[in-house]
Amino acid sequence: MSRLLHLNGPPGIGKSTLARRYAAEHPGVLNCDIDVLRTLIGGWEDDFVRAGALIRPAALAMIEAYLAHGSDVVLPQMLLDRDQLARFQAAAAGVGAEYVERVLMDSPAAAVARFHRRGADDEDPWHDTVRDIVAINGGDAELLRCHRALERLLAERVDAVRIESSDGDPSATYALLLESLTQR
């Protein structure tokens, strides 16, 4: 049975980093990073949110097609909206695949600090855009709101597994992720 591995968590917690590593170490796995896909939409820098809304149906179709052919997909994407979560779950279920949710978390203060440090030494073009969006929407208060929303979501979603994301040690977090996937 193919599997959709959804890596949820606050901005800057390491979802994309872990997804890249997971795909690299598991040949044939699709890393469906919606933030990467957004950058394929003309004008994404000017309207990041709209680019996400435009690309999400294409990402869902890609995920469904990939899962239907028996291959796994990793999805590094913060999703707080229950309807959006349900769409991704339904995409997996609709093709007979398993939906697995892992939520990467750190303390609220550490998550905010990590967000501000991210992107300093990588080439992901959307980091500056996301920083601007967060600033416009309240800065650190917005990051803390997202963190609280994820905590509430975790309390509701009995199948979601929390993984403590180690600041400064992605290999330790990756090991926890792999370990969590062997436990049922």
Which pair of structure tokens corresponds to residue 113? 């600090």
Q: Has residue 180 been placed in a domain?
A: no
How many domains is the chain partitioned into structurally?
Answer: 1
Residue 1: is its pLDDT beyond 80?
yes
Q: Has residue 12 been placed in a domain?
A: yes
For 60-82, what is the mean pLDDT? 96
CA distances 108 to 10, 43, 144, Å, are: 9, 32, 6
Q: Has residue 178 been placed in a domain?
A: no
- Which residue range is the domain that position 47 belongs to? 3-173
H helix runs in the chain, sequence order: 15-25, 34-38, 48-68, 82-94, 108-117, 127-136, 140-156, 170-182
**What are the pLDDT digits (tens) for 152-183?**
999 999 999 999 998 778 999 999 999 999 98
Higher local confidence (pLDDT), 111 or 117: 111
Q: How confident is the model at residue 184 (pLDDT cuts 50, 70, 90)?
A: low
Q: Has residue 181 been placed in a domain?
A: no
Per-residue model confidence (pLDDT) at position 119: 66
Q: CATH no. for residue 60? A: 3.40.50.300
**What are the pLDDT digits (tens) for 73-103?**
999 999 999 999 999 999 999 999 999 999 9
N-term to C-term CA, the chain: 15
Per-residue model confidence (pLDDT) at position 183: 82
Per-residue model confidence (pLDDT) at position 124: 76
Q: Has residue 149 been placed in a domain?
A: yes
Residue 131: is its pLDDT beyond 90?
no
Per-residue model confidence (pLDDT) at position 33: 96
Burial degree of 45 (CB within 10 A; 0-12, 13-18, 19+): middle
For 2-28, what is the mean pLDDT? 96
Q: Has residue 95 been placed in a domain?
A: yes
176 phi and psi angles, rounded to 5 deg: -65, -40
